Chains A and B, each alone.
Chain A
Amino acid sequence: MLPFILKRLGLAFLVALTVSLISFFLLYLSGDPATALAGEGATSEDIANINARYGFDRPLLVQYGSWLFNALTGDFGESYYFKMPVSALLADRLSVTMLLGVCGISFALLTAVPLGVLAAMRPNSLIDRFALFLSVAGQAMPSFWFGLILIVVFSIKLQWLPASGASSWAHFILPTVVLGYYAMPAIMRLTRAGMLEVLSSDYIRTARAKGASEGRVLFKHALRNAIIPVVSLAAVQMGFMLGGSIVVESIFALHGAGFLAYESISRNDLPTVQALVLIFSMFYILFTFAADVLNAWLDPRMRSS
């Protein structure tokens, strides 16, 4: 198991490095960083000054090399835009995003899995139709629109919840619902399909025949098998939530990492983007890794392969 984990981690590191290299060059392709940093009102002198200050006149590989060297020693440099250490900036923004991501995926799992199970238990029943309706609506509704509707209802009309900000846990309820609802349909459909397949299999019939209770059949025998692809999907969804909650963070004015990444790209804030790309790819890799481990625990057959 240990050599397997080490190999996986080594591979993960290489993947992260490749991602960061590609993103570095892509950023340069999108326009001269000095011009972007200087902003719309800049004169040619401003741009020349910035070029000299940040060393943009050096060859690209040298610039990437020096960034990489510093990053490996834990120094992500200083944000061009905020003029503060990237690590401090990330610590601040990532905490918001992580909290939101954990809440979002929990919300999605806690609603989608029970609904999926219920739908599979009574296929084509009213509850199945309701679940189908929920998932179709969830897939079809853009999250910016859903977010605004929630704000209109819960913040303006009912005045129950704050519309934006991150100063108390109440601020996280609406964003959690929006983010979680977006991830929910896929999880629910996968749970339903998995459950349907498993429930019609022979060993479930055997379990029922030997007199196991319905609850035991459902959760011990069926769900444990049906949930394996869901775990992998949830891991990917979680990675997506951390890096891609841009819209939700923007609407609810949560200053998180996803929004920071988006803004930093348009501001050509290279050190920040580079650090974020590295961290996001690490997250993706870690989550899929954790999902594999979890699946191996759920399904003993996977441990041997």
Chain B
Amino acid sequence: MKTALLRTTAAAIALSASTAAFADKASDTLHVAFTKELESVDSYMNSAREGIVIQRAVWDGLLYRDPVTNEYIGNLATSWEWIDDLTIEFKLREGVTFHNGEAFNADDVVYTVDFVANPENGVKTQRNVSWMKSAEKIDDYTVRIHLKSAFPAAIEFLAGPVSIYPNEYYAEVGPSGMALKPVGTGPYKVVEVEPGQHFVLEKNETYFDGPKGDAQISRIDIRTIPDINTQMAEMFNGTLDLIWQVPADQAGKLGEMSQFQAVNESTMRVGFLLLDAAGKSDENSPFKDVRVRQAVAHAIDSQSIVDALLKGSSQVIKSSCFPSQFGCDTDVTTYEYDPEKAKALLAEAGYPDGFTTEFFAYRNRDYAEAISSYMNAVGIKTNFNMLKYAALRDLSATSGVPVNFQTWGSFSINDTSAFTGQFFKFGDLDTVRDPELRDTLEIADTSTDPEVRIENYSKALNLIADQAYMVPMFSYNTNYVFTQEVSYTPTPDEVLRFATMSWN
């Protein structure tokens, strides 16, 4: 028995010595870990951040937003022009080819737009594409996209989730074929896919001279490793070069070691409380009274939550949007942490001894508990409930919940409409149902005049803050850890950009 075990071990040593694939710049392969299993590589058929990461590497959109300056520039299009509120015309880049050799032209744009805009084709995040009606070919390198209704954020979507697929190939293989053998125009092409587990990207040697720039690293090898501790072990081993979404304490420890660099960068996710201002959960809900809502806002010390729990580059958020988003006016009524004032407001509203309410949350139990204890401290006694996301959403859409700790990442769309549109336009998550607010947002969301948009977002955000319809608290952050051999500057939109990575 013992000798057999010994022999096995000896054989294992011999084997691992011969096959150990150490990630280093010598092999010009960057080894990356994903935590979650990606459902489909076809970027229209997943809603995961991992999917966005691969999408940005493998495909291109018509436009591109510089992640640092937030300026829009042409990508597969060289120029664009609003013909009217419902039509945008694009001049396309010539001489671009897809990874399979297919030439890029107006037919690809028309096919892609028509395919994704049809809800029957099952694009997972309809919001990304539902604003498009159709596309029309003017000539081989001129194309028009027709909108269903005025939608100025179109430019942002065209620079983000809407990427262009090769028409002949996609017509032949469909989403399931695209998921197994993706073909795009991007700086990396996919050479290997094991669904959910393993993806290998290889540098596109014939990448056009686009704003993303040429890839520097030859191969990107992505493995799904669900456990963060195992990811760390592989980092120590040298079999991984880069991990992301690393919990703060682990990132801190790794960052102290000389062979790694830990970089913290903010994300667009914002944490906030939704209060049942419309009285959906209870006709006599105390939260129908603006003073009670303001009391909640005064009761919570967001700065302390950021300092103690979120840390890193998280910031206190005062206005109901992410500060970099177009139209996000941060100069609104703010509620400083003041428990005495909160108690006074409660007394004024007729609750001198406070009241008891249900409190719901679905993620970050530690943040949620901190928030609920701040509420307890001013006399709003909370019954703490932690539900699965789907269950909580169900509950708030059907019978309503009085206090709901929610977060929103705006799909990394850098436009206020992606935030406010979800919560204040009478959708199933709207706990406010204020017609004036909805109408103001409608003008802001649909006007093609940037000045009008800014003005109306400002008006709407001020209304939200004055009424304390939402209690925004903090933005999230994420940690990237990579070896000293890797050179990379993460961006605030939480998208890994392989094309900008290089070896030191």
**B233 and A159: CB pair below 8 A?**
no
A261 → chain B, closest Cβ, in Å?
Answer: 13
| Contact indicator B39/A82 (Cβ below 8 Å) | yes
Cα A173 to Cα B15 with chains together (Å): 12
Is the pair A163, B124 in contact by a Cβ cutoff of 8 Å?
no
Contact B428 A44 (CB under 8 A): yes
Q: In the complex, are the beta carbons of B12 and A164 less than 8 A apart? A: no
Q: Which residues of B contact A125 (CB under 8 A)?
A: none
| Any B CB within 8 A of the CB of A41 | yes
Min CB–CB distance B52 → chain A (angstroms): 11
A77 at the interface (CB under 8 A from B): no
Complex contact A31–B197 (CB within 8 A): no
Q: Is the CB of A148 within 8 A of B229?
A: yes
With A160-B9, A161-B16 as known contacts, state yes or no: A46 contacts B124, CB within 8 Å.
yes
Chain A residues near B239: list those with CB within 8 A: 162-163
Check A41–B47 contact: CB distance below 8 A.
yes
Contacts of B411 in A (CB 8 A): 41
Interface residues of A in 26-63 (CB under 8 A from B): 30-33, 35-36, 38-46, 49, 53
The answer to whether the Cβ of B210 comes within 8 Å of any Cβ in the partner chain is no
The answer to whether B230 and A31 touch across the interface, beta carbons within 8 angstroms, is no
Q: Contact flags (1/0) for B27-48 with A, using CB distance below 8 Å?
A: 0000000000101100001011
Binary per-residue interface labels of chain A (64-103) against chain B in the complex, 1 for a CB within 8 Å, 0 otherwise: 0000000000000000011110000100000000000000
CB distance B195 to A251 under 8 Å?
no
Give B22's nearest chain A residue, CB to CB: A159
Choose one: B12, B127, B223, B388; the contact of A31 (CB below 8 Å). B388
Contact with A along B189-233 (1 / 0, CB 8 A): 000000111000000000000000000000000011111011001
Query: Is B179's beta carbon under 8 Å from chain A?
Result: yes
With both beta carbons as reference points, the residue of chain A lying nearest to B389 in the complex is identified as: A40
Chain B hits for A152, CB < 8 A:
233
Are B19 and A35 neighbours in the complex by a CB distance under 8 Å?
no
- The answer, yes or no, to whether B252 is at the interface (CB within 8 Å) is no
> Does A186 sit within 8 A of B, measured CB to CB?
no
Q: Which A residues between 152 and 179 are near B, CB-CB below 8 angstroms?
A: 152, 155-156, 159-165, 168-170, 173
**Contact of A268 with B390 in the complex, beta carbons under 8 Å:** yes
Closest to A39 in B: B47
Determine whether the beta carbon of B230 is less than 8 Å from that of A164.
yes
Is A253 an interface position by the 8 A CB rule? Answer: yes
A21 CB → nearest B CB, Å: 21
Known: A44-B428, A45-B126. A252 touches B230 (CB 8 A): yes
Complex contacts, B312 vs chain A, CB 8 Å: none
Distance of B179 from chain A, by nearest CB (Å): 7
Q: Which residues of B contact A197 (CB under 8 A)?
A: none
- Residues A156 and B233 in contact, CB atoms below 8 Å apart: yes
Question: At the interface, yes or no: B234 with Cβ under 8 Å from chain A?
Answer: yes
Q: Does A110 contact B (CB under 8 A)?
A: yes
Distance from A214 Cβ to chain B, minimum over Cβ atoms (Å): 18
The answer to whether A83 touches B16 (Cβ under 8 A) is no
B126 touches A46 (CB 8 A): yes
Q: Mark A238-272, 1 if CB is under 8 A from B, else 0.
A: 00000000000011110100010001001010000
Whether A83 lies near B179 (C-beta < 8 A) is yes
Q: Are A46 and B179 in contact (CB under 8 A)?
A: no
Q: A82-B196, A160-B9, A250-B226 known; A114 and B233 CB under 8 Å?
A: no
CA distance A282 to B470 in the complex (A): 51
A198 on interface, CB distance cutoff 8 Å: no
Give the number of residues in A that approach B within 8 Å (Cβ atoms): 51
B388 neighbours in A (Cβ, 8 Å): 30-31, 36, 266
In contact, B176 and A165 (Cβ under 8 angstroms) = no
Q: Is B394 part of the binding interface, using a Cβ–Cβ cutoff of 8 Å?
A: yes
A164-B225 contact given A46-B126, A155-B233, CB 8 Å threshold? yes
A305–B16 Cα distance when bound, in Å, is 52
Query: Which chain B residues in 235-292 approach chain A with CB under 8 Å?
Result: 236-237, 239
Given contacts A41-B47, A83-B175, are A49 and B126 in contact (CB under 8 A)?
A: yes
Instruction: Choose one: A49, A110, A111, A253; the contact of B119 (CB below 8 Å).
Output: A49
**Inter-chain contacts of A42 with B (CB < 8 A):** 47, 125
**Does A151 interact with chain B (Cβ within 8 Å)?**
yes
Residues of chain A with a CB closer than 8 A to B389's CB: 31, 35-36, 40
Q: Looking at the assembled complex, report how far the CB atom of A95 sits from the nearest CB atom of chain B, in whole angstroms.
A: 13
Closest to B427 in A: A44
> Among B12, B40, B390, B422, which residue has its beta carbon within 8 angstroms of that of A35?
B390
- Asked whether A155 and B127 contact (CB < 8 A) given A35-B394, A40-B389, A82-B40, the answer is no
B8 within 8 A of A: yes
Q: Which of A45, A151, A168 contacts B230 (CB 8 A)?
A: A151
Is the pair B233, A263 in contact by a Cβ cutoff of 8 Å?
A: no
Complex Cα distance A90/B233, Å?
Answer: 29
* CA A40 to CA B390, docked complex, whole Å: 8
In the complex the two chains form, what is the Cα distance from A148 to B231 in whole Å?
Answer: 11
Query: Which of B125, B126, B429 has the most A CB atoms < 10 Å from its CB?
Result: B126
Asked whether any CB of chain A lies closer than 8 Å to the CB of B491, the reply is no
Nearest chain B CB to A239 CB, angstrom units? 23
Whether A165 pairs with B223 at a CB distance below 8 angstroms is: yes
Contacts of A31 in B (CB 8 A): 387-391, 393-394
Is the pair B127, A43 in contact by a Cβ cutoff of 8 Å? yes
B130 within 8 A of A: yes
Most buried by B among A53, A161, A268: A161
B6 is an interface residue with CB less than 8 A from chain A: no
13 contacting pairs across A/B (C-beta < 8 A): A30-B391, A31-B388, A44-B397, A45-B126, A82-B40, A151-B233, A162-B239, A163-B239, A170-B15, A173-B8, A173-B12, A251-B229, A255-B197
15 new A-B contacts at CB < 8 Å, known A43-B422, A84-B176, A156-B236: A30-B388, A35-B394, A41-B47, A41-B409, A43-B427, A44-B397, A46-B124, A46-B125, A82-B196, A83-B179, A148-B229, A159-B237, A162-B239, A163-B230, A253-B225
Closest A-B pairs by Cβ, 5 of them: A31-B390, A36-B390, A31-B391, A35-B390, A253-B225
